[in-house]
Copies of this chain bind each other. A is one copy, B any other.
Amino acid sequence: MAKAQVQRMSRLMVKTLRDDPADAEVLSHKLLVRAGYVRRTAAGIWSWLPLGKKVLANVERVVREEMDAIGAQEVTLPALLPKEPYEATGRWTEYGAELFRLNDRKGGDYLLGPTHEEIFTLLVKDQCTSYKDLPVILYQIQSKYRDEARPRAGILRGREFLMKDSYSFDLEDEGLAHSYALHRAAYQKIFQRLGLDHRICAATAGAMGGSKSEEFLAPAAAGEDTFADCPNCDYAANTEAVSFALAPVDATGVAALEEIPTPDTPTIETLAAHLNVQASETLKNLLVKVDGEIVAVGVPGDREVDMDKVEAHFAPAAVELVTAEDFEGRDDLVRGYVGPQGLEKVQYIADPRVAPGTAWITGANKTGVHAKNVVAGRDFEVDAYVDVVVVQEGDPCPKCGTGLKLDRAIEIGHIFQLGRKYADAFQLDVLGQNGKPVRVTMGSYGIGVSRAVAALAEQHADDKGLVWPEEIAPADVHVVAAGKALQTELALEVSELLAEAGVRVLVDDRPGISPGVKFTDSELIGVPKILVAGRRSGDRVLELKDRRTGEREELSVEEAVARLTGTVA
């Protein structure tokens, strides 16, 4: 094994802080700043200090090795990109304020790449002309730029961040499915090697377009995503992607629709109280305007409408809430007493929970009056079933019906089957085996490399500081010289022996620092093994401590070296 480096803290630029930074809200932000891994340069823009850079480089190395292992080819495309390709796909405008735009000295429009689908599509169009040139998977590890409205949480959501993005190009759907499966397996290996607890969750494709998409989520309190996890089966999904199965009900025995006077009950709460029923027995009808046309959205009275889902359904049309003016001159719309059975002129979409055959209490389209036994499919028609409610803890698993658990998580990876969206935009064809052009199908795949460091810090910490997994720790062992000359000599001697054997060593040889401060720092910095040259240094005996378990044992120099180099158990 090659000789490893000994990093002497007396020479290393690492300044630990006793207190949490004032602007830090989440654990990883606090710890990575306090332990001297990163420093803020501007809002959402961070500098990686020597220890942090080592961790980041370790994550990069693992990602690179596993991408190479699936035959992906590394390239580096620019971060400064011309406007035209992004205009061709519409993303120049769709990205909105999140895109950093700039002009060059001649007034030309440029952007800082948030993700590179367009540029890779054009590159492959230039490089690959025949079916023989495919499939191909290309990747890069590169700084990406997104002008977040509220950069927060340290490196968890920065405006400049390091990302591995890759792109697959295939002739057929089966090829895309294979490239997707290769990435899915590689991502599992990567996160396993990094020591990141993660779940693979069904996701919505969002602005990226395309069909199938899954997210790799790392459960953590600081996460900005919420995912639903089934405690019984393997189902997991971003709450935005949880679907509720449409299950029609037999309504044969339900009595006929009956109007009932319900004065002063314009809300679900007043209605349920007045009739002494559960809100879940009532049907709530939300009115929205879609490109100016009124549309009604029906959900059970106890559920909230997720406006993001409504917007996603009607995109790219604009969705607004109705205002008082919208009711003027509309005798069919009685504010507070709307029922779907009276909405002939209005499109009606409903949550799958409002399945055919289900009976509801809802507005009678007359002020102060509701109706009961209003049956979907009998008394009113649903124009389209769309998942529009906010998912709640306990909602049934779409796969096995068990009540779902909701958890917070950090998105550390995302894989997409894009299909032909970008290939269509740029006419990316290759000559097929039969001599005819074949439109290429694509996938795109991302890992947040810098964000993974934050996710690791979230998952691997205790009240004393960071506790890095071995593969990505900034060193294998942190040797601490308690302070006296003899102790420092022994610490440096054993450090050299370890490094000779290929062990990466961080040694605290700082003069004039108390042993207590050094121990506190070693726990904050979080190298997996801590080897102390302390009281028994005269006997050439050191104390080995496991950072995670706190277990300690005394070892001779030879035993310590053998243990840490793994040559002796």
Residues of A within 8 A of B (CB): 5, 10-13, 15, 39, 41-42, 45-50, 53-54, 56-57, 68, 71, 73-82, 97-98, 100-102, 104-105, 110, 112, 119, 123-124, 126-128, 132-133, 136, 138, 143, 145, 147, 149, 159-160, 511-512
Contacts and interface: CB of A to CB of B under 8 A. Distances in A.
Contact of A160 (B78, B126, B127, B128): B78
Contacts of A159: 80, 104
Contacts of A68: 5
A53 B81 contact: no
Contacts of A128: 13, 15
What is the oligomeric copy number?
2
Among all A-B residue pairs, the 7 with the closest Cβ atoms: A102-B102, A48-B76, A50-B73, A97-B105, A42-B82, A47-B77, A45-B78
Contact of A123 (B47, B56, B79): B47
A169 to B, nearest CB: 9
A159 B127 CA distance: 23
Nearest to A57: B74
A80 B160 contact: yes
A74 B50 contact: yes
A178 to B, nearest CB: 14
Given A48-B76, A75-B53, A119-B41, A13 B105 contact: no
Given A39-B123, A78-B160, 7 more contacts: A13-B128, A13-B138, A41-B119, A47-B75, A79-B143, A100-B102, A104-B159
Contacts of A71: 11
Contacts of A79: 79, 143, 160
The binding surface of chain A is classed by DSSP as mixed
Contacts of A124: 13
A75 B97 contact: no
Contact of A81 (B12, B41, B104, B511): B41
Contacts of A10: 132
A80 B46 CA distance: 10
A147 B102 CA distance: 12
Contacts of A57: 74
A82 B40 CA distance: 12
Contacts of A13: 73, 75, 124, 127-128, 133, 136, 138
Contacts of A78: 41-42, 45-47, 143, 160
Contact of A76 (B15, B53, B119, B132): B53
A346 to B, nearest CB: 37
A147 B105 contact: yes
A383 B239 CA distance: 80
A498 to B, nearest CB: 18
A136 B138 CA distance: 38
Contacts of A41: 77-78, 81-82, 119
Contacts of A73: 12-13, 50
A38 to B, nearest CB: 10
A49 B39 CA distance: 33
Given A13-B138, A76-B56, A81 B42 contact: yes
A13 B127 CA distance: 7
A568 to B, nearest CB: 24
Contact of A149 (B105, B143, B160, B511): B105
Contacts of A512: 132
Nearest to A126: B39
Nearest to A122: B41
Contact of A47 (B54, B76, B132): B76
